[in-house]
Chain A
C-alpha cells in the first residue's frame, strides 16, 4: 500500500479529532438534557451511576491537571468552584447517589470544555442546568 505523505496524514488526524470533539460536545449536551428530564427524585440506574462515575473520575484527572497548569479558566469555572461543588457544600440533603451522579456530570462537562468540545458559554449553561437540578433535588 502507498504510504500517505506526513502532512496529509496529520490533516486527516486533525479532521478526525475535530469530528470526535463535536461528538463529545453533542454527547455531553444530550446527557445534560437527559439528566434534566429525569423527574424530581427519580433515580438513575446502577449502570448509569457506574458509567458516570468512571467518566467523572477520568474528567476529574483532566480538571486537576488543568488546575495545576493554571488553565482551568478556559471552562468558565474556577478550581475553587469545582472543589466547592465536589465537596457538596451548599447542597445538603440530596441522596448521595444522586449528588454524586450530578457532580460527575458537572466534571465531565468542564472537562470536555477544557479539551475544546465546546465554548465556555455553553459549558456555563450546562453547569447551571446541573446546579439547578442539584438544588431541585434537595
Chain B
C-alpha cells in the first residue's frame, strides 16, 4: 500500500468512518511499517 492510500485510511480510521476491514488493513500496514522502523533502529 502506498503512502497516499495509508493517509486516506488513517483519516477514515480516526474519523470513525472506516469499515472493519479497512481498519484492520490499515493497522496491519501501519504495523508492518513500524516493524521495519524497529529493525532499522536496532542497527
Contact = CB atoms under 8 A, between A and B. Distances in A.
A and B are partners in one complex rather than unrelated chains:
yes
Interface of A: 10, 13-14, 16-17, 20-21, 23-24, 27-28, 30-31, 34-35, 38, 44-45, 47-48, 51-52, 54-55, 57-59, 61-62, 65-66, 69, 71, 108, 111, 114-115
Contacts of A13: 20-21, 24
Nearest to A111: B10
Interface of B: 3, 6-7, 10-11, 13-15, 20-21, 23-24, 27-28, 30-31, 33-38, 40-43
Contacts of B40: 44-45, 47-48, 51
A20 B28 contact: yes
A14 to B, nearest CB: 7
Q: From DSSP, what is the main secondary structure of chain A's interface residues?
A: helix
A44 B42 CA distance: 10
Contacts of B15: 65, 69
A117 B29 CA distance: 15
B14 A66 contact: yes
B20 A65 contact: no
A48 B34 CA distance: 10
A55 B30 contact: yes
Given A13-B24, A20-B28, A57-B7, A62 B33 contact: no
A103 to B, nearest CB: 14
A54 B38 CA distance: 14
